[in-house]
């Protein structure tokens, strides 16, 4: 939460100074009322930048609904940041929840909470928070970047799920026994798709500088498939092992 820490301290200092300003002569001897909340302990804790002090020192301010709303918001955000640094994500989210209930216009806080939802793996809530932050502040660079990257991540996950457990060919048109065996086994189907994807990449890269090299790599793949088709069904033939060896070979080529 370094992005808001300086502003947070400045705000708390200002609030504390205002609350401790010298009273006028008419009220100098008046007894303090229950509504007067001392923000100094929380201010000192935030200024120290010590997480434990912030967590303990801001409790009275955060939990007292008679305290000034702005003070409670700033204290809640400070404690949320402290909890986040201590990897107590749920508690940090809870404090951000409070801050946003008190003021639902805080774009930076929506973005901060969104980052925590993303960290927990709750992509829908994270995307919603990032989107809200951008709507509140279209120029919020961090929220815009977070929204874009998470949208792309969700899109990639959707694309992966769409092809998960599916081979590189159309199972509805499968005729060979080996193809039917691959379609019937999710692990083999994923292996086949990975083999095809890596081989396609290698052939493309090889063909950029040398068309013959690209063709030679594709012939090697064609020979592998022909050999796989011919040997499938033999007592000593292990389809999964053969496909795994082919993928390992392609991956080794791809790394060079």
Q: What are the tens digits of pLDDT across the range 202-214?
A: 999 988 888 999 9
| 213 contacts: CB under 8 Å, gap ≥ 6 | 206, 207
Residue 23 lies in a domain: no
Residue 242 lies in a domain: yes
Q: What pLDDT is attached to residue 48?
A: 84
Among 103, 118, 137, identify where a domain stops.
103
pLDDT band, residue 40 (cuts 50/70/90): confident
**28 has pLDDT over 90:** no
Pull the structure tokens for residue 253.
């080529």
Please tell me whether residues 95 and 113 are part of one structural domain: no
CB 186 within 8 A of CB 165: yes
Q: What pLDDT is attached to residue 16?
A: 47
| 65 contacts: CB under 8 Å, gap ≥ 6 | 72
Among 57, 73, 103, identify where a domain stops.
103
Please tell me whether residues 7 and 60 are part of one structural domain: yes
Total domains in the chain come to 3
Please tell me whether residues 1 and 99 are part of one structural domain: yes
Residue 26 lies in a domain: no
CB 181 within 8 A of CB 232: yes
Angle at Cα 130 formed by Cα 43 and Cα 65, nearest 5°?
A: 35
Please tell me whether residues 83 and 4 are part of one structural domain: yes
Please tell me whether residues 82 and 6 are part of one structural domain: yes
- Find the largest Cα–Cα distance for the chain: 103
**Average pLDDT for 32-38:** 55
Q: What is the pTM of this model?
A: 0.57
**18 has pLDDT over 50:** no
Q: What pLDDT is attached to residue 35?
A: 53
The helix/strand/coil state of 67 is: coil
pLDDT over 70 percentage in the chain = 85
Residue 86 lies in a domain: yes
Buried b (16+ CB within 10 A) or exposed e, 138-154: eebebbbebbeebeeee
**Average pLDDT for 69-90:** 94
Residue 28 lies in a domain: no
Please tell me whether residues 51 and 117 are part of one structural domain: no
Residue 29 lies in a domain: no
Q: What pLDDT is attached to residue 172?
A: 92
Please tell me whether residues 228 and 249 are part of one structural domain: yes
The Cα 155–Cα 157 span in angstroms is 5
**Average pLDDT for 84-110:** 96
**215 has pLDDT over 50:** yes
**161 has pLDDT over 80:** no
Please tell me whether residues 215 and 133 are part of one structural domain: no
Interhelix angle 123-136/141-163, rounded to 10 degrees, is 150
Query: Rounded to 10 degrees, what is the CA torsion of 154, 160, 161, 162?
Result: 110
Residue 251 lies in a domain: yes
Please tell me whether residues 43 and 84 are part of one structural domain: yes
Please tell me whether residues 67 and 156 are part of one structural domain: no
Closest CA to 166 of 144, 139, 185, 142: 185
Rg (CA), the chain: 30
Please tell me whether residues 152 and 183 are part of one structural domain: no
Q: What pLDDT is attached to residue 157?
A: 76
For residues 25 and 48, the model is more confident at 48
**4 has pLDDT over 80:** no
Residue 224 lies in a domain: yes
Domain that holds residue 142: 106-163
Please tell me whether residues 180 and 236 are part of one structural domain: yes
Task: Report the CATH number that the domain containing residue 147 is assigned in CATH.
Answer: 1.25.40
């Amino acid at each position: 939460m370094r992005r808001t820490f300086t502003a947070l301290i400045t705000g708390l200092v200002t609030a504390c100074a205002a609350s401790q300003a010298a009273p006028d002569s008419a009220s100098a001897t008046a007894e303090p009322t229950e509504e007067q909340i001392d923000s100094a302990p929380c201010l000192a804790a935030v200024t120290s930048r010590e997480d434990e002090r912030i967590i303990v020192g801001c409790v009275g301010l955060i939990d007292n609904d008679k305290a000034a709303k702005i003070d409670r918001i700033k204290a809640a955000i400070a404690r949320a940041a402290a909890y986040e640094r201590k990897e107590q994500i749920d508690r940090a989210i809870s404090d951000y929840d409070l801050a946003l209930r008190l003021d639902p216009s805080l774009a930076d806080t929506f973005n901060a909470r969104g980052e925590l939802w993303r960290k927990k793996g709750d992509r829908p809530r994270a995307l919603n928070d990032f989107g809200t932050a951008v709507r509140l502040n279209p120029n919020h660079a961090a929220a815009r970047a977070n929204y874009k990257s998470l949208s792309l991540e969700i899109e990639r996950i959707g694309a992966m799920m769409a092809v998960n457990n599916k081979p590189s060919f159309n199972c509805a048109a499968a005729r060979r026994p080996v193809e039917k065996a691959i379609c019937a086994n999710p692990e083999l189907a994923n292996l086949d798709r990975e083999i095809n994807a890596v081989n396609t990449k290698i052939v493309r890269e090889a063909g950029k500088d040398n068309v013959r090299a690209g063709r030679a790599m594709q012939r090697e793949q064609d020979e592998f498939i022909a050999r796989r088709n011919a040997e499938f069904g033999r007592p000593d033939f292990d389809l999964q092992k053969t496909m795994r060896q082919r993928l390992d070979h392609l991956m080794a080529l791809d790394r060079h």
